[in-house]
Structure 1
């Protein structure tokens, strides 16, 4: 069977690649993709071969889809042709997914919403690993796609207040719409005092860094209260120079890396849930209307118009959050 996927080469040229798709293995499920969601920061970094990306070509772009099961492997349990599902797969028309990286979409959740599944699971790492307590102040640094999602999940987890900072006014406004208690321009002076003013006189107990840039990591350490936790959620593309005595040791900070690759494949543990359990949690939060992903969609396009989509990704349109790609071939 033939499939089309969006990819790029070493010259950062984006194109559609036609390739053969085998039948699913014993543990795989074949899925016809209905929608997929762009992860702008990660995909931009891979297209441009930025630091901390591999150098394999053609690139695999995308990792969050929703669709319909077409075939199942001989050892697969719980999935059958026709099921509505969401999971981990590149931007493509059809492909095979390991069954532990796939979940059913609950009734009441659309394909469009469910396609955010891995975006939600990534953002969930910050909230789980921070172990946020009810009433703790949480600062989210960077309000792009992952930051907006982390902000909503921290709120759902009981953080109060939720503080968001960014340099783009439209992203600050979007965060307010989705429940952020206070927002500030990251270029404001005296931000530390502003944070104390809205958090009972102290700096935030938790800071979630989601920009993917090196410099905000230093600022995140500064903005956390003594004995606070700083969660590195964004995948940084460069080096950060830190004075460990002044920035971490003297303040008693806990710094936690929250990359999704540290999660177990099959079995969940405290603060380290597997994809399946995280994904089911995320989709049920969508079903219960505790989080909102439709407000994060800046653009909807058919896969044939991939150049329109990646124009936004590569040109760093300030107001852009993400695109939903629709898939229907033949």
Structure 2
């Protein structure tokens, strides 16, 4: 199938061939018939992509501060590579979709149903149930495609809480502004629309509004006061897009005492206290298309809000807009300014330069091609001779694209197939790095004779299942940490591995730090001391929001399982003896009403040779402090490693300092050792028993901290 993607790095808009998304529980697969290009949002994204680095930085000062802090801790080149990789991730464009259901795993929705969603511009989209709504029989697909835009307008109106007969101003008469005018008129309000575009003012007049044409020098405040019979506007809804502070100032000055101002668009927000203070004005920002937006539990997991407590959610706003279309209360057809075939989608984006454009509609082919629902696409026709280390990837996120895939390519592995659930990221990464195929089904690699090695770089909850499936298929496995999230999963992996008998594939976990040049130097020095060692790890991990997937116990498993495992393994490597016992304690919280997490904890490991490691894993430090500091005390000597860039020795004969130009966390060396072992037929770089040991200790520590 084809999908429109935006490269934020160079501004290129692509109509790309990608595999059809993989359908999961609670989702529907939709064949698109019509989508609407959102002139405001999508023009902003395209313009951002075309901007140079300086202009991009000016538009996102918060991100610039994050980059500067990262340079301090990680160095210049790793930071530049991380930023480039982030900008190079394909961004699906579009969020106003109407189509027909192909497959459904949602009760009440069946194949053949006509449906709207906030799906992107693609021939086939996969959507969760709470972001879909059925189209009434008397609403055509062209009109229905405007539903999401209508819901953005509706949410702004809901926050304004207008009553019949109230006077409401709409500042900005683009698509959302004109829909807002219609909704307000249907609600029994008197409406005045304000814009610089004379044609858009005429549209608003056709919907029953009076207008202020700013291009003719008309005074919006005076017009608003006159329209409200001198009382001031009851409410003002701002749907404009401008850097100017003037819309907010005008809104305040035309409002009555205790009037309501709702911001739906994007404008300057240098507010005048005096303008708001005297009238006790209410100012509120509207969030997209209603309650549930950006809540993964609602949008992705399908957990609805009880109607008795949240009457209007995103989905119920979709339904309300469709009902208004069905009754004739609002009409989207006059808002269509251009129609383009999906084949000519790039020409449609060129139309965004015309600021007078309104609804740009994309029309999709009615006849479905043979590749419309293909889960695998060929990226190159070049045939490769069979060889060892024919590697396929499960997962194509930022870390895989920036670190793992280049490392495998550099190590001499042949890249066969990349599998991602959405298809778009896999196709982009596949073309960039030279994969033969891109797919959305794991079967494409598990059943492939051309793949002997599978690298797993998916979310943590999938690692154990995918590792077992790969082992059963006889594939070598490189799994980005963690190996498993529970002891049961770990036992299953061990059983699958042992079941292979003498034909056991190689298994590797991405514990890369032990392969760093700094690590091997530390190991060699410490091995020369024949007595117990004392290791102190200070990990200034930084805060991750609680709603991030890594903090979700069911998906990421938390930061001890997902990240601290690195340092448990590194300690195991430096000591060179099995872990005998362990203990963990997390930072306490005197206010028991507040939840505590295990990302501020101390882990203590005791080893069979008498050594001890203390790992302070902390998310409450300043980013200016070194992110990873490891200190080793042994035989009246000390080693200090900072951020895998600088290793200092105190009391060591012949050694005082070792530095690398940039961070060396051992990722390339880790992968190289794994690929070399496959090609040479030698043992895995790290024994399976040790991978199991470290994983088991990590899981038990995490359980202890949560208890």
Gaps of 5+ in 2: 49-55, 64-85, 293-297, 299-303, 370-707
2:266, 2:309 → 1: CA distance? Answer: 23
- In the alignment, is residue 196 of structure 1 matched against residue 233 of structure 2? no
| Alignment match of 1:7 (pick from 5, 8, 14) | 5
Per the alignment, residue 141 of structure 2 pairs with 111
Per the alignment, residue 183 of structure 1 pairs with 211
Q: Deviations over 1:241-268 (max 9, x none)?
A: 2222x12122210001112266124225
Per the alignment, residue 103 of structure 2 pairs with 71
2:231, 2:129 → 1: CA distance? Answer: 46
Alignment of 1:93-242 (within 5 A): 93-160=123-190, 162-180=191-209, 182-187=210-215, 188-215=217-244, 216-236=247-267, 239-242=268-271
Per the TM alignment, residue 217 of structure 1 is displaced from its structure 2 partner at its CA by 2.3
Per the alignment, residue 81 of structure 1 pairs with 111
- In the alignment, is residue 21 of structure 1 matched against residue 20 of structure 2? yes
1:189, 1:132 → 2: CA distance? Answer: 26
1:33, 1:125 → 2: CA distance? Answer: 25
Instruction: Report SS of the residue matched to 1:298.
Output: strand
Residues 286 and 231 from structure 1, CA distance in 2 versus in 1: closer, same or farther, beyond 3 angstroms?
A: same
1:271, 1:205 → 2: CA distance? Answer: 25
1:235, 1:271 → 2: CA distance? Answer: 26
Per the TM alignment, residue 269 of structure 1 is displaced from its structure 2 partner at its CA by 6.7
Bigger Cα displacement from structure 2, 53-62 vs 95-104: 53-62
Q: Deviations over 1:117-174 (max 9, x none)?
A: 10011111111011101111000000000100111111111212x0001011000001
Per the TM alignment, residue 221 of structure 1 is displaced from its structure 2 partner at its CA by 2.1
| Alignment match of 1:274 (pick from 309, 313, 324) | 313
Per the alignment, residue 538 of structure 2 pairs with none
| Alignment match of 2:363 (pick from 313, 319, 326) | 326
| 8 A contact 1:37–1:324 mirrored in 2 | yes
Q: Deviations over 1:292-314 (max 9, x none)?
A: 1000000000111122211121x
Residues 164 and 293 from structure 1, CA distance in 2 versus in 1: closer, same or farther, beyond 3 angstroms?
A: same
1:219, 1:243 → 2: CA distance? Answer: 11
Instruction: Report SS of the residue matched to 2:257.
Output: coil
Per the alignment, residue 395 of structure 2 pairs with none
Per the TM alignment, residue 23 of structure 1 is displaced from its structure 2 partner at its CA by 3.2
Q: TM-score, normalised by structure 2?
A: 0.43
Per the alignment, residue 249 of structure 1 pairs with 277
Residues 223 and 270 from structure 1, CA distance in 2 versus in 1: closer, same or farther, beyond 3 angstroms?
A: farther
2:193, 2:311 → 1: CA distance? Answer: 25
| 8 A contact 2:243–2:266 mirrored in 1 | no
Per the alignment, residue 336 of structure 2 pairs with 297
Counting matched residue pairs gives 319
Runs of 4+ aligned residues of structure 1 deviating over 4 Å after TM superposition are 52-56, 268-272
Instruction: Report SS of the residue matched to 1:48.
Output: helix
Per the TM alignment, residue 201 of structure 1 is displaced from its structure 2 partner at its CA by 1.8
Per the TM alignment, residue 46 of structure 1 is displaced from its structure 2 partner at its CA by 1.2
| 8 A contact 1:195–1:202 mirrored in 2 | no
Gaps of 5+ in 1: none
Residues 269 and 177 from structure 1, CA distance in 2 versus in 1: closer, same or farther, beyond 3 angstroms?
A: farther
1:271, 1:311 → 2: CA distance? Answer: 40
Q: Deviations over 1:6-60 (max 9, x none)?
A: 1221221211122112331111000000000111110011112274699653222
1:124, 1:220 → 2: CA distance? Answer: 19
Q: TM-score, normalised by structure 1?
A: 0.91
Residues 242 and 124 from structure 1, CA distance in 2 versus in 1: closer, same or farther, beyond 3 angstroms?
A: same
Residues 319 and 270 from structure 1, CA distance in 2 versus in 1: closer, same or farther, beyond 3 angstroms?
A: farther
Residues 150 and 91 from structure 1, CA distance in 2 versus in 1: closer, same or farther, beyond 3 angstroms?
A: same
Residues 271 and 217 from structure 1, CA distance in 2 versus in 1: closer, same or farther, beyond 3 angstroms?
A: farther
1:319, 1:44 → 2: CA distance? Answer: 13
Per the alignment, residue 92 of structure 2 pairs with 60
Residues 30 and 111 from structure 1, CA distance in 2 versus in 1: closer, same or farther, beyond 3 angstroms?
A: same
RMSD: 2.0
- In the alignment, is residue 47 of structure 1 matched against residue 46 of structure 2? yes
Structure number with higher helix proportion: 2
Instruction: Report SS of the residue matched to 1:148.
Output: helix
Instruction: Report SS of the residue matched to 2:153.
Output: helix
| 8 A contact 1:192–1:203 mirrored in 2 | no
Instruction: Report SS of the residue matched to 2:91.
Output: coil
2:290, 2:225 → 1: CA distance? Answer: 33
2:285, 2:311 → 1: CA distance? Answer: 12
> Which of the pair has the greater relative contact order for Cα pairs under 8 Å at 6+ separation?
1
1:61, 1:108 → 2: CA distance? Answer: 28
Instruction: Report SS of the residue matched to 1:212.
Output: coil
Residues 191 and 211 from structure 1, CA distance in 2 versus in 1: closer, same or farther, beyond 3 angstroms?
A: closer
Per the TM alignment, residue 219 of structure 1 is displaced from its structure 2 partner at its CA by 2.2
1:129, 1:18 → 2: CA distance? Answer: 41
